[in-house]
Amino acid sequence: MYFDWRKVQLVTPAKRYQGQFIDGLIALALFISSNYLSKVFIQQGATADMLTIALPLIYFLLSDGLPNGQSIGKRIIGISVVNMNTGKACSFLGSFLRNAPSLFLGLIDAVLIVFRRRQRFGDILARTVVINGTPKF
């Protein structure tokens, strides 16, 4: 079976921003809770600081590799990240490749999704698109 990404409904920028907003809230909650828990159980120091930063960063980088290519925010909104070539759900490696550039490009990367293919730089790098619904492959 052949997957043609041009024949699926790509997600509107508004829906993508909604999913990113929810995922941002989740990352913030992870940051706050890990900061609190690390101060209670680990006290202070580099280990506590690393834990506080690591949990939200891991979620941000790898969350699109969760089942069906859906971070929690994407699952709530009803959208998925799929590989452009296969139509399969995004992998953890694909999630890392598509999200890591956002750490450096920030707002510039977010603006790219308004163009025809609705892809950020990370999507181009990881060969992914964001679709409505869940993958069929």
- Whole-number pLDDT of residue 24: 95
How far is CA 115 from each of CA 41, 43, 111, rounded to the nearest angstrom? 47, 47, 8
Low-confidence ranges of the chain (pLDDT < 50): none
Distance (Å, rounded) from C-alpha 48 to C-alpha 83?
36
The pLDDT tens digits of the residues spanning 65-86 come to 999 999 999 999 999 999 999 9
In this prediction the pTM is 0.89
Looking at the chain, how many residues does it have? 137
User: To which residue do tokens 């409904």 refer?
Assistant: 9
Give me the residue spans of the domains in the chain.
Answer: 8-132
Q: Average pLDDT of the chain?
A: 90
